Structure 1
Amino acid sequence: MDPLTVATLAVACFVLYRIINFTVKLFKVALLFEYPLNAEELPSLPFIGHAYLFIGGNEAILNRMNQLGKNYPTWCRISFGNNPVYVMTSPEHLKEILLTPKTIEKNYLYEIMRPWLGDGLITAPASVWEVHRKLIQPSFNSLALKSFVKTFATLSGTLAKKMEQHLDGSEFEVRKYVSLCALDAICATAMGINLKAMETEKCEFDEAVTKLINNMVKRAISPWLYPDFIFNRTQLGTDQRKHIKFIQEFGINVIRQKKATIVRRSDEGVSADNEQDSFGNFAAGPQILIENLLRLSIDNKTLTDEDIRNHVDTMIVAEKTYQELCDIFGENVLHDDSEELQFTMDHLARMTYMERVIKETMRLFPGAPLVGREATDDLELGQCTVRKGTSVMLNIFGVHRNEKYWPDPLKFDPDRFLPERFATQEPYSYLPFSGGRRNCIGSKYAMIFMKIITATILWKYVLTKDKVIPVKDLRLTFDILLRSVDPDTFRIRRRVK
């Protein structure tokens, strides 16, 4: 046999061996839900890395990340294209990553959102984030939050009225109503405008944001679309540019109007407290985020209009409970003529059981199930060394549902958050608003809003389900934020007091 034939046969045998070996590993991956692999056994494909693990849409992303957390309860290493990513599911590691200055930068996946959010708090480089966070923080102090309560209560009342059309009827989908209420609240408190999304029941702004987020998730799990020169020539790229243009023009118009208002007030010597707010109310209105930021821009040029628009865009991501409301408000008191609850910060502070219900809901369904960071220096995490420039994904969803830290993790038990019980909880095993220096700036804002919406609905209505689906059977999907695959529905009937 001549040397050329021998060489050809050797190459063919080697290729065949690699094909068989890779096929065996792929078969193991197909059994991933039953057969945990060592991190090094997960086969990586040329160009796409482990992206093939997440084929199947956004639901598959969450399911596979959750399963990776179960199979590798501390950490595992995968890759998207040529980008290595460490998936971390240990509270001890999460604590170190969230607290060390070595991983305060967001990872490359957040670059996908930069055409939209620019240097907003979610996507900004650490140096920019540090400055802007200090500037924005006062807009979320206790005085500012107190000023939002009346707006939240008004919008929650509108939400309840919109739902009345379904009284004593069949189950209806609630997400649309709550989503539009949240959008109205964000626009009112962040931009000072009454968008009236709930009244029209259709909002181009909301639709554009939803489609844009879906596009970004598709790009995040498609490494071949990472290069801009490829992505910009796809339909996804075309759609993204269209949605971003619409959203940014909306923000620019609001900024122009607010700037003109602030200048006019200054010229006329008029106080903002003496003007009507976006709902026609006089007196000291909400401390609108965009107005606070514009003052920084006008007074000392600290922020550009683009900075302001980026931050505003970033803002836009049970019977026992009822008995507690009765204890707080009384059976028939503290109503106005329209039968609406009159909330104060003291009332909200006394809703301790409701707060535990909300916290347990966020444990099982964290809004941001995955958080990305990048190591700017080598980081030692036990037996794992995260090299400089490497990405880490914090598997918050996996930690929240890990039986090691949460006994009977799929059981809904608000009393996990009783002070005496939660005091014994593993630190950093509960991160619904992330943690460390770069945690969510709006966590208290969100809690107040959720309490007011929940209290308003439960004060008026009894909610029921024809069929209660166990937590383990609920289908969830990852659209940057956590969402349910199937519609969230229930029946409502008026509560008889």
Structure 2
Amino acid sequence: MITAILFCIVAALFVHFIVLHYGKYGRIMNLIPGPRVMPLLGNLYDLHVPSSEIWKFMRQLGNRYYPIYRLWSFTVPLVYIRHPDDVETILGNPKSIQKSEMYDLLMPWFGTGLLTSGGSKWKVRRKILTPAFHFNVLQQFIDIIIEESERMTNLLKNEGGAVVKNLMPFYSEHTLNVICETAMGTSLKDKGRFQHKYRKAVYDMGKVIVYRLIRPWVHSHNIFKFFPQGWHQSRLLKILHGFTDEIIAERKDYHEKTSGKYLTGFNDDPSLKDNSDDVGIRKRRLAMLDLLIAAHRNNQIDDKGIREEVDTFMFEGHDTTAVSLCFTTMLLAEHKEIQAKAREEVKAALEQAGGKITMATLQNVPYLERCIKESLRLYPSVPFISRTPEMDVRLSNKLVPTETVVNVLIVDVHRDPNYWPNPEVYDPDRFLPENMKGRHPYAYVPFSAGPRNCIGQRFAMLELKTTLLFLLNDFYFEPVDYLRDMDIDVDLVIRPTRPIRTRFVPIESK
């Protein structure tokens, strides 16, 4: 009986495979080049390797089938693109803002927040949150970023002499402190264990999501919850949501005690910097979370919606920035002349500002900014973006039917030798104005592009420049581990498979 049932299931799947691949849709999709497809499984066999091997496999396919290829994940075709014209067609089109079904795997964590939502809901949330990243608000945040960067630098100094650091946890603690105090209005000082549990849960959750991504049979949330990894996900979600629930509760309590009088004025001037005491609580600067609380009071968003956005920004606002700091530090450590030039510029900017770091000081380090941009070219924090176009599109002269999953391989877009000569070479001067002239606007998309570009990209650049400015002023960077020896893990962000370390040497000791 069981054998007969299994035979019927396999037979039905095989018939489905034949109809799918030899029907109109399948014939169109198979006109796009790609590796050989196995019956029923598609290309799943190729993906069932260690995560670092998946990364290498995808990059090899990108070069072999340039500029477009397709894979079949069981019965679902996936199209991969890297040509800037195709990237513009997908990311630049206001009718292609719908994220693909891949993002459904993020919903237990993020719900339908700004990262995962589409249509009118995404537009409403974007409108609510945009003022949080207005220039005037960023000016208020800079003091917190400076304070946290100085604290981090002093911790290194206090260890005495040259210090070797595992960069990811070192920077992740720093960036999580920054996003909590700026965007959430909550300090994590003296909450080390609380913070460590959250950061570890973020890392483990990324592994769970990748596990599901390459196993279509556990894409269904109702099925996955019965698997051991599903139980593990439930435990992780308790930690992740518990962390953000506590942050939201603390900020709501603050506004209850101050009768909500500090929930306005996001685009006002820095009168908001008032540090006066009110009902025993230090008045904090307005934060992104305050916009959500204000919208909640105006019935624009519910409690679940607040947590969706806080979960989204807690992850996106700390992990991606920490990754960028890791790779920029390692690149500077391996390129002494570039590091020396950046340090010389930092010291000149600080001398000109009388040692005081302000927004103007940060705008006076263009070479350091070019170093960061070039690092993001080689190692974009988010290596790919996925969309489902709402209409048929032509990509590299191949028809891609509506609602097909299209993945933009950012890391390969950024290393295309047709747009980036000697693409593997670290050269910040690629971003000199004269060298950028005439470059395709979609050949460089570390913060995405078009209508769904990253809402926090100016905030991220401010934090990256401030952190590196402090470190370069006080330390030499020396490599312990080298990028050439590093394997990349498939994850929500571009993450090394093992710890990557750099030595920080106090300048006065040399």
Q: Give the TM-score, by structure 1 length.
A: 0.84
Write the distance in 2 (CA, Å) between the matches of 1:77 and 1:197: 49
Partner of 2:26: none
Write the distance in 1 (CA, Å) between the matches of 2:285 and 2:486: 38
2:436 equivalent to 1:438: no
| Cα 1:170/1:303, change in 2 over 3 Å | closer
Structure 1, unaligned stretches of length 5 or more?
1-36, 336-341
How far does residue 276 in structure 1 lie from its aligned partner after superposition? 6.4
| Cα 1:197/1:106, change in 2 over 3 Å | farther
Moved more, 388-397 or 471-480: 471-480
Q: Secondary structure at the match of 1:462?
A: strand
Count of matched residue positions in the alignment of Structure 1 and Structure 2? 449
Write the distance in 1 (CA, Å) between the matches of 2:71 and 2:440: 26
Write the distance in 2 (CA, Å) between the matches of 1:344 and 1:485: 37
| Cα 1:361/1:40, change in 2 over 3 Å | closer
Write the distance in 2 (CA, Å) between the matches of 1:493 and 1:101: 49
How far does residue 329 in structure 1 lie from its aligned partner after superposition? 1.0
2:506 equivalent to 1:480: no
Q: Is the 8 A contact 2:381 2:446 kept in 1?
A: yes
Partner of 1:128: 121
Q: Give the TM-score, by structure 2 length.
A: 0.82
Write the distance in 2 (CA, Å) between the matches of 1:357 and 1:214: 30
How far does residue 201 in structure 1 lie from its aligned partner after superposition? 9.7
Q: Is the 8 A contact 2:113 2:309 kept in 1?
A: yes
Partner of 1:397: 411
- State which of 143, 148, 173 in structure 2 corresponds to 1:150: 143
2:357 equivalent to 1:343: yes
Deviation string, structure 1 residues 233-283 (Cα, Å, up to 9, x no partner): 111111111111222233223223322321321278999755569xx9967
Structure 2, unaligned stretches of length 5 or more?
1-29, 265-271, 317-338
Partner of 1:307: 305
How far does residue 446 in structure 1 lie from its aligned partner after superposition? 0.3
Write the distance in 2 (CA, Å) between the matches of 1:149 and 1:111: 35
Write the distance in 1 (CA, Å) between the matches of 2:263 and 2:385: 44
- State which of 165, 170, 174 in structure 2 corresponds to 1:172: 165
Partner of 1:260: 253
Would you identify which runs of 4 or more consecutive aligned residues in structure 1 move more than 4 Å? 37-41, 197-202, 267-277, 280-283
Write the distance in 1 (CA, Å) between the matches of 2:242 and 2:83: 42
Write the distance in 2 (CA, Å) between the matches of 1:174 and 1:41: 37
- State which of 400, 419, 426 in structure 1 corresponds to 2:433: 419
Q: Secondary structure at the match of 1:101?
A: coil
Partner of 2:398: 384
Q: Which amino acid aligns with 1:287?
A: L
Partner of 1:60: 53
Q: Is the 8 A contact 1:48 1:223 kept in 2?
A: no
Partner of 2:7: none
- State which of 477, 483, 491 in structure 1 corresponds to 2:503: 491
| Cα 1:201/1:291, change in 2 over 3 Å | closer
Partner of 1:327: 348
Q: Is the 8 A contact 1:51 1:223 kept in 2?
A: no
| Cα 1:348/1:169, change in 2 over 3 Å | closer
Q: Is the 8 A contact 2:369 2:465 kept in 1?
A: yes
Partner of 2:24: none
Q: Which amino acid aligns with 1:303?
A: I
Partner of 2:371: 357
Write the distance in 1 (CA, Å) between the matches of 2:470 and 2:81: 39
Moved more, 144-153 or 190-199: 190-199
Partner of 1:95: 88
- State which of 210, 222, 225 in structure 2 corresponds to 1:217: 210
| Bigger Rg, structure 1 or 2 | 1
Percentage of matched positions with identical amino acids: 29
Partner of 1:161: 154
Q: Secondary structure at the match of 2:172?
A: helix
Partner of 1:464: 478
Deviation string, structure 1 residues 85-124 (Cα, Å, up to 9, x no partner): 1100111100111112332100010000011101211101
Partner of 1:8: none
How far does residue 163 in structure 1 lie from its aligned partner after superposition? 2.4
CA RMSD for the aligned pairs?
A: 2.7
Q: Which amino acid aligns with 2:75?
A: N
| Cα 1:257/1:200, change in 2 over 3 Å | closer
Write the distance in 2 (CA, Å) between the matches of 1:83 and 1:349: 47
